[in-house]
Structure 1
């Protein structure tokens, strides 16, 4: 049953309906972390390291390929209905796999189909669950909700690997998959209790194919004065935001002789900075000049990232990495809130799938570039390039008046 979730406006962090969605999202993300850890570990032990990557890629590829289709499905049937159905499917698939692993040794015959099915279902679930915020809170609370969501992701990424390691050691692959399945079940139960504001149906329903609806969504973004540049900014900024953390820090620490502990210090510093940004937006009563905030955050990210490649000591690198996490987290929170605030609810699933694809699809493009660049010219050149990408994102934001002047307190100017 759905109904108005915001009849009595209240801060998102005090709204039980919002907190139930957040708890469902946290359980889901933690389940994802445990699932991917269990899949990688089981594949490595079963088929060896050389083929384990192929098993994991079997899940990542359909998720990327079907992500935009997942957005169409969310808009056609409603994000709540699609999120519940896909969450139930994920839960069932993982629990059945766990039951099979209790009595049978794992092998490619199980792991590859599991990764493929999970990847397809995840491509439907992610746009649907990401389209909830405008339907459960008010426009001026979207930045706060994005901050709460960021804290949720940090919590899941911190606790998930530890919990996954414990259940893997105690119950093996079957126990780990069962734990992930139970978390998806918790997420499902919580989602069933979340109330959403229904979107008015068009007076004359149009019968369109999936391809036509996808094309309509892409045209909507392309013609929108704010969403078009915002999608470009998100894609460019995520390339810089994810690349240095995923691989660049390892290359820099190895080049400077800081060792694995140096990598750990910088990675932790980045998480602290990003977590601080999420916490700040969670407690901040209101966000003024969101568009200008995006520009400033991207400029700081660009400067700090370029400087990181020239850091003379480990501790100066740690300080700069905190700043990158803080500025990058700010940009992610504000751009996410603006997407949620500005998108017509009828297109929100498709727009969410597009921005998610930008986040997941463009960042890995820097991974092979990072290795070659560090080998030929050093890690400093790689970080300078990342800074240039972030600077380009800032320039795009400045060049778009609708984005530069965007507000979250009311209609953007």
Structure 2
């Protein structure tokens, strides 16, 4: 008789929060997020100080145009060159441009045209950076850790505005806009050695070579997305949820605070409540690592969050509004993190740059176009009806998740 030796058990994968590669990526992402927050504060302060409010608004809006127009192309670049290379190049350009602007401000007063030029460059870089950032996590960890990584990414994204705002304000107070831009440039520079230290998992051989044109790659990615039973419907969910959410929490919140007499500090408290809720959702996903029935949970929490958005307009007391905003952050944050985790686990890594580009285009390119419409609708019909319609759009996103069987039954890997 011959005895067959049992194959040794595969070693247990290291949890994401103990994986040096994931922690290196998280450090780079946090530094880049902080740099972005400081940059936008410095840009808005400098634009307001050197021009009218309308001119400052125009400078702040310049970056949105190339970001929206070039986002899909950025997804192709991320898939062709690899997300790590694109992220390194993006942060390098941002570092050099912002440090150059800081030096210019020390020596001269360049005016609004220089600020607009920098904003334009940032818009182009964002079109490359955002799809690449979305494509990185599956290349640095196992599939069963992607939900935990999304929670860690959410915590990092929340940390940016919380710490970046005060840091940028302190830099402006101590050394003016030049110091703030310099601090932003140093934070972008801090991300670079961490990004260089990352080692990505290789793609399967069948996906490594690409000989087609960029347009053919883009068309191939869109066909892949359209034909996927989970990813296609999820893009509709992303678009509807961001369309419904963006107006009330950007344009509508300022109007609501003015009408209720809460003032600017009231807006700050409400946003803090929302950020706390969203951070708690990210922390929950980071700790648990997996939520059973992710597709269904995402749909139900999105629908419940829509109800909370509608309730915000009916609130007259600030403490209640903060509590409602916290509930919105918790519910919307959890549904959004689960949706992102499903995108990353369902998508073939070879297409993730292009798929991430479509998702970013829906949330950061198309959704902000509704801001003027939200403002005009509030002037015509008031805050209540606009919040109700926006909540209905968010609820439609949740219902769509629940009525599409493939999305409702979608699970995160064990």
Instruction: Give the alignment's TM-score, normalised by structure 2.
Output: 0.93
Deviation, structure 1 residue 384:
0.7
Shift of 1:298: 1.1
SS at match of 2:62: helix
Report the aligned-residue RMSD: 1.9
1:379 aligned to which of 375, 383, 387: 383
Q: 2:33 aligns with which of 29, 32, 37?
A: 29
Structural mapping, 1:7-406, within 5 Å: 9-202=13-206, 205-406=209-410
Of 112-121 and 396-405, deviating more is 112-121
Deviation of 1:69 after TM superposition, in Å, equals: 0.9
Contact 1:340/1:348 (8 A) holds in 2: yes
- Aligned partners of 1:168, 1:258: CA distance in 2, in Å? 27
**Does the 8 Å CA contact 2:37/2:164 hold for their aligned counterparts?**
yes
Structure 1 contact 309–382 (Cα < 8 Å) conserved: no
Distance 1:296 1:249 in 2: 24
Unmatched runs of 5 consecutive residues or more in structure 1: 1-5
Number of aligned pairs? 405
Quote the offset at 1:204 in angstroms.
9.1
Q: What CA deviation, in whole Å up to 9, does each residue of 1:69-111 have, x standing for no partner?
A: 1111010011112211222222122222222222121223422
Pick closer, same or farther for the CA change 1:36–1:257 going to 2, 3 Å: closer
Q: For residues 43 and 204 of structure 1, do their structure 2 counterparts lie closer, same or farther at Cα, with a shift above 3 Å needed?
A: closer
User: Quick one: distance in 1 between partners of 2:370 and 2:273?
Assistant: 21
In the TM superposition, what is the alpha-carbon distance from 1:171 to its structure 2 partner? Answer: 2.0
| Contact 2:243/2:393 (<8 A) preserved | yes
Return the offset for 1:295.
1.1
In the aligned structure 2, how far is the partner of 1:108 from the partner of 1:249? 28
Measure how far apart 1:214 and its partner are: 1.3
Runs of 5+ consecutive residues of structure 2 not aligned to the other structure: 1-9
Q: Distance in 2 between matches of 1:277 and 1:381?
A: 29
**Cα distance change, pair 245–203 in 1 and its aligned pair in 2 (3 A):** closer
* CA–CA distance in structure 2, aligned partners of residues 7 and 178 of structure 1: 46
Equivalent residue of 1:202, what SS? helix
Structure-1 separation of matches of 2:390 and 2:269: 20
Farther off after superposition, 34-43 or 255-264: 255-264
What whole-Å deviation, never above 9, does each CA across 1:338-389 have from its counterpart, x for those lacking one? 1111111111111111101111123323322332332332211111111100
**Do the aligned partners of 2:67 and 2:124 also contact (CA within 8 Å) in 1?**
yes
